[in-house]
Amino acid sequence: MSKRKCVFLDRDGVLNEDRSDYLYRLEDLVIPDGVTEALQLLKNAGYLLIVITNQAGIAKGLYDPEAVYAIHQKMQEASGNALDDIYFSPYHPQYSGNSLSRKPGSLLLEKAIAKYKIDPDQSWMIGDRDRDMEAGQKVGLKTIHIIPKTEISAGDFAAINLLAAAWIILENQN
Protein backbone atom coordinates (compact mmCIF):
# COMPACT_ATOMS: atom_id res chain seq x y z
CA MET A 1 0.00 0.00 0.00
CA SER A 2 1.37 3.40 -0.94
CA LYS A 3 1.69 6.06 1.69
CA ARG A 4 -0.96 8.73 1.95
CA LYS A 5 -0.70 12.50 2.02
CA CYS A 6 -2.22 14.48 4.86
CA VAL A 7 -2.83 17.98 6.11
CA PHE A 8 -2.63 18.17 9.89
CA LEU A 9 -4.64 21.05 11.30
CA ASP A 10 -4.44 22.84 14.61
CA ARG A 11 -7.95 23.67 15.80
CA ASP A 12 -8.21 26.99 17.64
CA GLY A 13 -7.09 29.87 15.44
CA VAL A 14 -7.15 27.72 12.28
CA LEU A 15 -10.50 25.90 12.04
CA ASN A 16 -12.34 28.22 14.40
CA GLU A 17 -11.84 31.70 15.78
CA ASP A 18 -9.50 31.62 18.75
CA ARG A 19 -10.81 32.90 22.05
CA SER A 20 -9.01 34.57 24.94
CA ASP A 21 -10.32 31.74 27.12
CA TYR A 22 -11.11 28.16 26.10
CA LEU A 23 -13.60 27.03 23.46
CA TYR A 24 -15.78 24.30 24.92
CA ARG A 25 -19.35 25.55 24.51
CA LEU A 26 -21.02 25.00 21.14
CA GLU A 27 -22.59 28.45 21.24
CA ASP A 28 -19.08 29.98 21.30
CA LEU A 29 -17.90 28.16 18.15
CA VAL A 30 -17.28 30.55 15.25
CA ILE A 31 -16.00 29.05 12.00
CA PRO A 32 -14.41 31.78 9.87
CA ASP A 33 -15.33 32.36 6.24
CA GLY A 34 -13.31 30.18 3.89
CA VAL A 35 -12.67 27.29 6.29
CA THR A 36 -15.24 24.95 4.74
CA GLU A 37 -14.08 25.83 1.22
CA ALA A 38 -10.43 25.23 2.21
CA LEU A 39 -11.22 21.83 3.72
CA GLN A 40 -13.14 20.79 0.62
CA LEU A 41 -10.30 21.94 -1.69
CA LEU A 42 -7.79 19.87 0.28
CA LYS A 43 -10.10 16.86 0.49
CA ASN A 44 -10.75 17.00 -3.27
CA ALA A 45 -6.97 17.07 -3.84
CA GLY A 46 -6.71 13.74 -2.01
CA TYR A 47 -5.46 14.84 1.40
CA LEU A 48 -6.44 13.24 4.67
CA LEU A 49 -7.44 15.99 7.11
CA ILE A 50 -6.49 15.32 10.72
CA VAL A 51 -6.90 17.73 13.62
CA ILE A 52 -4.05 17.88 16.18
CA THR A 53 -4.94 20.13 19.11
CA ASN A 54 -3.80 20.92 22.65
CA GLN A 55 -6.77 21.02 25.01
CA ALA A 56 -5.25 22.12 28.32
CA GLY A 57 -8.67 23.16 29.62
CA ILE A 58 -9.27 19.47 30.38
CA ALA A 59 -6.24 19.33 32.71
CA LYS A 60 -7.40 22.58 34.28
CA GLY A 61 -10.82 21.07 34.99
CA LEU A 62 -12.71 23.59 32.84
CA TYR A 63 -14.32 20.97 30.58
CA ASP A 64 -14.15 17.28 29.74
CA PRO A 65 -13.22 15.37 26.57
CA GLU A 66 -16.90 15.18 25.57
CA ALA A 67 -16.86 18.96 25.02
CA VAL A 68 -13.95 18.55 22.57
CA TYR A 69 -15.83 15.84 20.69
CA ALA A 70 -19.00 17.98 20.58
CA ILE A 71 -17.09 20.91 19.02
CA HIS A 72 -15.46 18.50 16.57
CA GLN A 73 -18.84 17.07 15.57
CA LYS A 74 -20.17 20.57 14.93
CA MET A 75 -17.11 21.28 12.75
CA GLN A 76 -17.76 18.04 10.87
CA GLU A 77 -21.34 19.09 10.15
CA ALA A 78 -20.19 22.52 8.96
CA SER A 79 -17.50 21.04 6.68
CA GLY A 80 -19.51 18.21 5.13
CA ASN A 81 -17.63 15.62 7.21
CA ALA A 82 -14.30 16.59 5.64
CA LEU A 83 -12.22 15.89 8.76
CA ASP A 84 -10.83 12.35 8.95
CA ASP A 85 -9.83 12.25 12.63
CA ILE A 86 -9.06 14.31 15.70
CA TYR A 87 -6.23 13.85 18.16
CA PHE A 88 -6.03 16.02 21.26
CA SER A 89 -3.73 16.37 24.22
CA PRO A 90 -5.63 16.92 27.47
CA TYR A 91 -2.47 17.86 29.38
CA HIS A 92 -0.91 21.02 30.76
CA PRO A 93 2.54 21.00 32.39
CA GLN A 94 1.43 23.01 35.44
CA TYR A 95 -1.67 20.90 36.08
CA SER A 96 -0.98 17.36 34.90
CA GLY A 97 2.75 17.22 34.22
CA ASN A 98 4.63 17.16 30.95
CA SER A 99 3.45 15.06 28.02
CA LEU A 100 5.00 14.34 24.64
CA SER A 101 1.48 14.49 23.17
CA ARG A 102 1.25 18.21 23.88
CA LYS A 103 2.61 20.35 21.05
CA PRO A 104 5.45 21.19 20.53
CA GLY A 105 5.76 17.48 21.26
CA SER A 106 5.12 15.35 18.20
CA LEU A 107 3.63 12.16 19.68
CA LEU A 108 0.11 12.73 18.33
CA LEU A 109 1.49 13.43 14.86
CA GLU A 110 3.62 10.27 15.06
CA LYS A 111 0.59 8.19 16.10
CA ALA A 112 -1.50 9.51 13.20
CA ILE A 113 1.35 9.01 10.71
CA ALA A 114 1.67 5.37 11.80
CA LYS A 115 -2.08 4.66 11.95
CA TYR A 116 -2.90 6.14 8.54
CA LYS A 117 0.40 5.25 6.79
CA ILE A 118 1.11 8.90 6.00
CA ASP A 119 4.07 10.09 3.96
CA PRO A 120 5.54 13.11 5.79
CA ASP A 121 7.27 14.27 2.59
CA GLN A 122 3.85 14.85 0.98
CA SER A 123 2.19 16.20 4.12
CA TRP A 124 1.68 19.50 5.91
CA MET A 125 1.02 21.02 9.33
CA ILE A 126 -1.09 24.18 9.55
CA GLY A 127 -1.19 26.06 12.84
CA ASP A 128 -1.25 29.50 14.38
CA ARG A 129 1.47 29.04 16.99
CA ASP A 130 5.22 28.44 16.92
CA ARG A 131 4.61 25.17 18.80
CA ASP A 132 2.51 23.88 15.87
CA MET A 133 5.37 24.63 13.49
CA GLU A 134 7.90 22.97 15.81
CA ALA A 135 5.79 19.80 16.17
CA GLY A 136 5.32 19.51 12.41
CA GLN A 137 8.98 20.11 11.67
CA LYS A 138 10.02 17.38 14.17
CA VAL A 139 8.32 14.75 12.00
CA GLY A 140 9.37 16.17 8.62
CA LEU A 141 6.18 17.99 7.59
CA LYS A 142 6.10 21.19 5.59
CA THR A 143 4.54 23.88 7.77
CA ILE A 144 2.23 26.83 7.24
CA HIS A 145 1.91 29.43 9.97
CA ILE A 146 -1.44 31.23 10.12
CA ILE A 147 -0.46 34.72 11.24
CA PRO A 148 -1.18 38.37 10.50
CA LYS A 149 1.02 39.71 7.70
CA THR A 150 2.78 41.95 10.21
CA GLU A 151 4.24 39.05 12.23
CA ILE A 152 7.30 36.87 11.63
CA SER A 153 6.50 33.28 10.64
CA ALA A 154 8.08 30.22 12.27
CA GLY A 155 6.78 28.06 9.41
CA ASP A 156 8.06 27.14 5.98
CA PHE A 157 5.23 29.31 4.64
CA ALA A 158 2.89 31.91 6.14
CA ALA A 159 -0.78 32.54 5.37
CA ILE A 160 -3.43 34.92 6.64
CA ASN A 161 -6.07 32.16 6.99
CA LEU A 162 -6.83 28.53 6.19
CA LEU A 163 -8.08 29.23 2.67
CA ALA A 164 -4.81 30.99 1.79
CA ALA A 165 -2.93 28.06 3.34
CA ALA A 166 -4.92 25.57 1.22
CA TRP A 167 -3.90 27.42 -1.95
CA ILE A 168 -0.23 27.33 -0.85
CA ILE A 169 -0.50 23.55 -0.46
CA LEU A 170 -2.19 23.08 -3.81
CA GLU A 171 0.49 25.20 -5.52
CA ASN A 172 3.34 23.28 -3.83
CA GLN A 173 2.26 19.64 -4.11
CA ASN A 174 4.99 17.07 -4.73
* 10 a catalytic residue: yes
Q: Are 51 and 15 in contact (CB under 8 A)?
A: yes
* Helices and strands, counts by H and E, the chain: 7, 6
* 132 a catalytic residue: no
Q: Are 21 and 61 in contact (CB under 8 A)?
A: no
Q: Are 72 and 31 in contact (CB under 8 A)?
A: no
Q: Which residues pair with 44 in a beta bridge?
A: none
Q: Are 88 and 115 in contact (CB under 8 A)?
A: no
Active-site annotation holder among 12, 28, 119, 128: 12
Q: What three-state secondary structure class fits 6?
A: strand
Q: How far apart are CA 38 and CA 45, in angstroms?
A: 11
Q: How far apart are CA 84 and CA 125, in angstroms?
A: 15
Q: Are 55 and 108 in contact (CB under 8 A)?
A: no
**Residues classed as catalytic:** 10, 12
